[in-house]
Amino acid sequence: MTSRDNPVGNRQEGFHFQVVGIGASAGGLEPLEELFTNLSPDLEMAFIVIVHSDPSHETLLPGILARRTKLGVHKARDGGSIQPQCVYVCPSDSIITIADGKLRLTPRPRNREPILAIDQFFYSLASELENRAVAVILSGSGSDGTLGLREVKAKGGITFAQNAQTSKFFSMPQSAFASGAVDFLLSPKEIALKLGSVANHQYVKTKVPAENDSEQNDSEQNDFNELIVLIRKGSGIDFSLYKHGTVSRRILRRMALNNISKLSDFHTFLTKHPQILNDVAQDILIQVTKFFREPEAFDLLKEKIFPDFVRGRGREDTIRVWVPGCSSGEEVYSILIALTEFLEEGGYRFPIQFFGTDLSESAISKARDATYVENISQDVSTERLERFFTKTTQGYEINKSLRDLCIFAKHNLVSDPPFGKLDLITCRNVLIYLGLTLQKRALSIFHYALKPSGSLILGNAETVSGVGELYIPIDSRYRAYVKKPSTSRLYFDFVGAHQTADKISTTPPVVAIAESASQSIQMQRDADRYLMAEFVPAGVLVNDQLELIQFRGRTGPFFEPSPGFASLELLSMLKAGLVSEVQNAIDVARQKNEVVRREEIAVKLEGDIKRITLEVVPMPLPSTGERYFILLFEDMDAPTFAVSKRRRQLKLSANPKLDETHELSAIRAELTSTKEYLQSIKEEKEASNEELRAANEEIVSSNEELQSTNEELHSAKEELQSTNEELLTVNEELKLRNHDLSGLNDDLSNLFNSFNSAMVLLTRNLKVRRFTPMAEELLRLIPADIGRSIADIHPNVEIKDMEKMLQEVIATSRPKELEVKDAQGKWYSVQMKPYRTQDGRVDGAVLLFTDITQLKTSLIYAEAVESIYSHPLLVLNGELKVKRANKKFYEVFKSTPSDTENRYIYDLGNKQWNIPELRELLEKVLPQNSEIRDYKVTHKFPNIGKKTMNLSGRRLFHHDVATETILLAIETVD
C-alpha cells in the first residue's frame, strides 16, 4: 500500500470537457509552436499555458501561438471562465490557478526566489478536474511541475512530458519522468496527436466511479473479477478486497491510456502483453505524498505522542516507528526530522529505528535513494533544509546520519508479518482505499505490532470502526489513537515476504467468500426442500458440533434459552425431557448416517404431557466434508400439525371407539417401555459420569496447562515471524549497501593505483589506514603495514618531528606543508592535511608527497641565470609586487633586498619608481602585448641622478593573478 492524499469530491462535474495544463521553461517556445501546429482545432479541450518568463516584461506568447493554431488564444484574466477550444496564456507577472471553475490570478512576487508556478497550477488542476485533468511538461531547466504532475496522475488525470530527443533543455521533463508520474514521453507533435485520441475516450466523457461505487451488470462484474485475478497473477498483488471504486477508476484510466473501451478487450490486451500487468498494479497503488503534509499533525506528534516515547524509557531502549504505505519516503523522513528535533530540544538521547514499507518496488527504491527535487523547498523550511539536507545537482539529499536510521522494504500490509514492539505506526490515507475486511485486518495487525503504550495515527478520512474496542482515541481531529490492551489474542495467517505470489492460494479471498456463501445457500435450499416435502414441521438445523444454525417453524415449545452465558448450543437450549432422546438420536444418525425417527416421546411441555415425534436427518456438505443435521419436532396432540401415517390409518378405521381403546393401550405399553429404557440409560450414564468426572478434572487441569503453553508458543511463533521478517528486510538492506560499498571500494582502489604521488591515509592515532603504490617505495611500506603506527616505519625521506606535526594537524584541523630532500637528492613537497568524514568530523590525517625535484632544479637554474645577467632584472607577480631582483639591480640603483622584495614596484625607494611611463608599460602596454622590448624611459632618481633606461618586459601566464610572473629587464643608457 502506498500513502495517498485525501480524496477530493467530484468537482470535475462542473466541466464536461478536459482541461490541459502545459508548462514550459527554457527552450519551450519551439515545442509550444510545434504542439499547437499539430493540434486539431475540433478537440473538446481547453488549454492553459504557463511559461517561466521575466515578470517585468509582458509576454508575446499569445500572438505567437495565435499564428500557429485555429483555436482561440487569449491572455488569461482573473475570474475568467474556461471554454473548450480555447487557449489561455498566463501573464508573465502572475501566478495562475483554477478555483470553483474559474481562472484565478495572483501577482507574482518580485523577489528572486524561485516561483514554482507550474506546480501550483497543476495542483489546482488536479483538485478541480480529477480524471478530466491533463498535464504536459515541455522543455525547461529545473524541476518545476514534477510534484504537480504526480498529483494530477494520482487524481486520475493523464500526464505527458517531452522526450530528450526533441528537448533543448531536458531537466524539467527528466525530473518528472524520474518521479514515475509521466504516462507518455513523446515529441510535441506526438503529444498533440495523442491528446486527440485521449479526448474521445469514455473515461473523460463520463463520471468516474466513486470510491465505494460498485454498480456493474453481471457481465461487467465477471470481466472485472477476471481482470483482478489476471493482475494478481502478473504482479503478485491481490486487489479483490480493495474498494471497488478505487480499482475501477485506475483500470479505466489505464484503458484510456491504451485507447481501449471494454473490460473484456482490456483483459485480452493484458493477456497478450503481460509485461503491462505490473504497470496496472502500480497505477492502483497511488503514490502521492509530500514532506510535512498537514503540519498540524506534526504539532500533535510533538505535543502528545513523542512525550510518551521518552517517559520511563531506558537509554538503550530503541524508539521504533513504522510507516506502512510510505511511498517514496517523504512521510518517514518528516516524522524522523520532527522526532530528532524533539529529542534534541529536550536533551534526550535514545537509539532510533524507522521502518518504511510499501508494495511498490520503485517507490521503495526512491525512498532508499533519499534524493528529492528542489521543489520540496515549498514544504520544508529553510532551517530544516540546511540542517537535514544536502544540496545536490538533482535537488536535495537527506543527510546520511538520518538515512542510516531508516530501513525501507517491499511489504504487503495485510499478508506479510508486521514489525513488532513499535512505539508508533502512522498509516495516513492508506485504509481509505481498502475494503472493510482488509481495514479490520490491518487495524488488528497494527494492534498486535504496537507496544502496550504504542500510538496509531490515521488519515483524516479514516477511523478504527469495526475494531474500536482495540484502541483509545487521543485526538479525534487527526485520528490519533493509543493501543488498548486486548482481552483475547489475535492470530494472523501471514504469508511472509519470502513467499512468491505463485505460492499463495490461487483463489482470491473474494472468490473464496463467494464459494462459501454459495455452498451455505445450497445447503439451506436442500433443507427447505426436505422440510417442504414433510409438511414443514417445527425444526432446527445444527452443525456437527451441535451448534444451532437455523430455526424453522414454531420451535418455541421445544426450546428456551438457558440461564447464564448466552449460547446457541443445542443441548443447553432444549426443554427438559428432550435432551437424552435428542442426543441419543443424533448419535445413532451420526454413526449410521441415516435418518433416525423416535415416536411417541412423552415430555412435559407448557404444563401438559405431550406426545412428540422426533426425526434426525443427517445432511453432509460434499464440498467441505462437513456434516449438518436437521431435527424435526412434531406434537402428535396438536390439531394443526400433521401426524404419522400409522395414526392416519387408525383414524380411518371402521370402529373409531375400538380403535381408540387399542391405541390407548399401545401408547401406555410403549410409554412404560420407554420409561424403563430411559431409567436404565440414566443409571448407566450416572455411573459413567462419576467415573468420567474424576478423569475430567485431571484433564481440565492438564488442558489449562497445555492451553497456557500453547498461548506462549503462539506468541513466540508470531514474535519469531516478525523478527524473521525484520531480519530479511535488514539483510536485503545490507546486501544493497554491501553492493554499493563494493563499488566504492573498487573505485577507490583504481584511484589509488593510478595516483602518481605517494599518499598515506592515517587514523587519529597515526596508524596506517591505506596508501598508494608510489608510497610503497618512498616510505618503505608493505601491505602488512596497514594498522601499524607511522612511527614504526622508517621511510627513505626523513622528516623531523613528523608525528608531532601530524598530531597538530589532527588537533587544529590546519594543514601543514614543507619541503624535504631524500638521500638521493630528490626534493619533495610534503603536505599534511586533516582526514575528514562525510559529516565533517576529523578522523585522522592525510600525508602527501609530491616530487618537486624538476621544479626545484628549474628555480635554481633561474636564480643562477638572474645572478649572472649583466643588466638589472626584476621579477614581479601579477599584483606588481617584487618577488626578487638580481645583484646588478641592487648595484645600479643603490638598493637592498629588504627594501625591495615583497613591495609594490611603485613604492620602491620612497616611490621613486612611481614613473608615469613605467605605469603605462606595466598596466596598459604589457597586458595587451604580453611582451615589449626597448621601451625607453627617462627619469631622475634621487640617489643616482638622471637615467635613461630601455625597458623590456614579458608576462608568464598562470591560472590566476597571484601566481602570474612578470620579468622586467632594465638597460641603462648613460
> pTM of the prediction?
0.58
Nearest to 636 by CA among 659, 615, 617, 657: 615
Nearest to 24 by CA among 241, 188, 205, 156: 188
Q: What is the DSSP letter of 641?
A: S
User: pLDDT confidence of 501, banded at 50, 70, 90?
Assistant: very low
* Residues carrying an active site annotation: 25, 52, 144
- The reported pLDDT for the residue numbered 823 is 75
Write out pLDDT tens, residues 517-528.
445 555 666 666
User: pLDDT confidence of 556, banded at 50, 70, 90?
Assistant: confident
CB atoms within 10 A of CB 233: 14
3-state DSSP assignment of residue 837? coil
Higher pLDDT, 199 or 666: 199
- The reported pLDDT for the residue numbered 881 is 86
- DSSP states along 129-185: HGGGEEEEE-S-SS-TTHHHHHHHHHTT-EEEEE-GGG-SS-HHHHHHHHTT--SEE
- The reported pLDDT for the residue numbered 516 is 46
Nearest to 350 by CA among 365, 339, 359, 361: 339
- The region, left, alpha or beta by phi > 0 then psi within -120 to 50, assigned to residue 130 is left
- The reported pLDDT for the residue numbered 932 is 80
The span from the CA of 224 to the CA of 641, in Å, is: 50
Which of 850-885 are b and which e, b meaning 16 or more Cβ less than 10 Å from the residue's Cβ? Answer: bbbeeebeeeeeeeeebeeeeebbbbbbbebebebb
Checking if the pLDDT of 316 tops 60, the result is: yes
The span from the CA of 749 to the CA of 755, in Å, is: 10
Nearest to 953 by CA among 967, 964, 970, 965: 967
Q: Which residues contact 667 (CB under 8 A, 6 or more apart)?
A: 600, 611
User: pLDDT confidence of 331, banded at 50, 70, 90?
Assistant: very high
User: pLDDT confidence of 161, banded at 50, 70, 90?
Assistant: very high
3-state DSSP assignment of residue 49? strand
Provide the mean pLDDT of the chain: 79
User: pLDDT confidence of 216, banded at 50, 70, 90?
Assistant: low
The span from the CA of 285 to the CA of 302, in Å, is: 30
User: pLDDT confidence of 269, banded at 50, 70, 90?
Assistant: confident
Beta bridge pairs of residue 24: 51
Checking if the pLDDT of 86 tops 90, the result is: yes
Most confident stretch, 409-413, 665-669, 671-675, 722-726 = 409-413
- The reported pLDDT for the residue numbered 499 is 45
User: pLDDT confidence of 507, banded at 50, 70, 90?
Assistant: very low
Unique residue bearing C-alpha cell 531508516: 406
- The reported pLDDT for the residue numbered 142 is 81
Under 8 Å between Cβ of 422 and 454: yes
Checking if the pLDDT of 95 tops 80, the result is: yes
User: pLDDT confidence of 796, banded at 50, 70, 90?
Assistant: confident
User: Do strands 319-324 and 352-358 pair parallel, antiparallel, or not at all (unpaired)?
Assistant: parallel
Looking at 169-294, list the stretches that DSSP marks H as alpha helix, in order from N- to C-terminal side: 171-178, 188-199, 202-205, 218-235, 244-257, 263-272, 277-284
Checking if the pLDDT of 628 tops 80, the result is: yes
The span from the CA of 582 to the CA of 733, in Å, is: 63
Beta bridge pairs of residue 481: 456, 473
- The reported pLDDT for the residue numbered 514 is 41
- The reported pLDDT for the residue numbered 666 is 54
- DSSP states along 910-935: HHTT--HHHHHIIIIIHHHHSEEEEE
Q: Which three cell numbers stand for residue 893?
A: 640603483
- The reported pLDDT for the residue numbered 622 is 65
Q: Containing H/E element for 34? A: helix 29-37
CB-hemisphere CA count at 13 Å for 777?
5
Under 8 Å between Cβ of 407 and 306: no
Q: Which three cell numbers stand for residue 511?
A: 472468490
- The reported pLDDT for the residue numbered 322 is 94
Checking if the pLDDT of 46 tops 80, the result is: yes
The span from the CA of 922 to the CA of 874, in Å, is: 13
- The reported pLDDT for the residue numbered 187 is 92
Amino acid identity, position 688: S
Checking if the pLDDT of 384 tops 80, the result is: yes
Q: Which residues contact 218 (CB under 8 A, 6 or more apart)?
A: none
User: Averaged over 74-85, what is the pLDDT?
Assistant: 90
Q: Which residues contact 165 (CB under 8 A, 6 or more apart)?
A: 187
Nearest to 19 by CA among 143, 148, 130: 130
Q: Which three cell numbers stand for residue 361?
A: 518496488
Provide the strand spans (E) within 702-826.
758-762, 768-771, 816-821
3-state DSSP assignment of residue 413? coil
Burial of 181 (0-12, 13-18, 19+ CB in 10 A): buried
Checking if the pLDDT of 487 tops 70, the result is: no
The span from the CA of 191 to the CA of 271, in Å, is: 27
The span from the CA of 248 to the CA of 256, in Å, is: 12
Cα 928 to Cα 747, 758, 922, 931, 952, distances in angstroms: 46, 41, 10, 9, 14
- The reported pLDDT for the residue numbered 357 is 92
**Lowest-pLDDT range, 220-229, 330-339, 507-516, 895-904?**
507-516
User: Averaged over 599-615, what is the pLDDT?
Assistant: 78
Percent of the chain residues past pLDDT 90, beyond the cut: 13
Most confident stretch, 202-216, 248-262, 374-388, 548-562 = 374-388
- The reported pLDDT for the residue numbered 914 is 83
Provide the strand spans (E) within 434-476.
450-458, 471-475
Q: Which three cell numbers stand for residue 420?
A: 513488532
- The reported pLDDT for the residue numbered 258 is 81
- DSSP states along 596-623: EEEEEEEEEETTEEEEEEEEEEEEEETT
**Lowest-pLDDT range, 623-637, 645-659, 913-927?**
645-659
Most confident stretch, 261-275, 484-498, 758-772 = 758-772
Looking at 273-399, list the stretches that DSSP marks H as alpha helix, in order from N- to C-terminal side: 277-284, 295-300, 306-310, 330-346, 361-369, 382-388
User: Do strands 133-137 and 18-24 pair parallel, antiparallel, or not at all (unpaired)?
Assistant: parallel
The span from the CA of 837 to the CA of 772, in Å, is: 19
Burial of 924 (0-12, 13-18, 19+ CB in 10 A): exposed
CB atoms within 10 A of CB 800: 8
Give me the helix-helix angle, 117-129 and 146-154, nearest 10°.
10
- The reported pLDDT for the residue numbered 543 is 86
φ, ψ for residue 418, nearest 5 deg: -80, 170
The CA-based angle 492-497-502, given to 5 degrees, is 95
Give me the helix-helix angle, 509-533 and 218-235, nearest 10°.
140
Q: Containing H/E element for 882? A: strand 882-885
Amino acid identity, position 671: L
Nearest to 966 by CA among 859, 878, 904: 878
- The reported pLDDT for the residue numbered 936 is 83
**Lowest-pLDDT range, 4-18, 176-190, 257-271, 808-822?**
4-18
Q: How far apart are the first and last CA of the chain?
A: 96
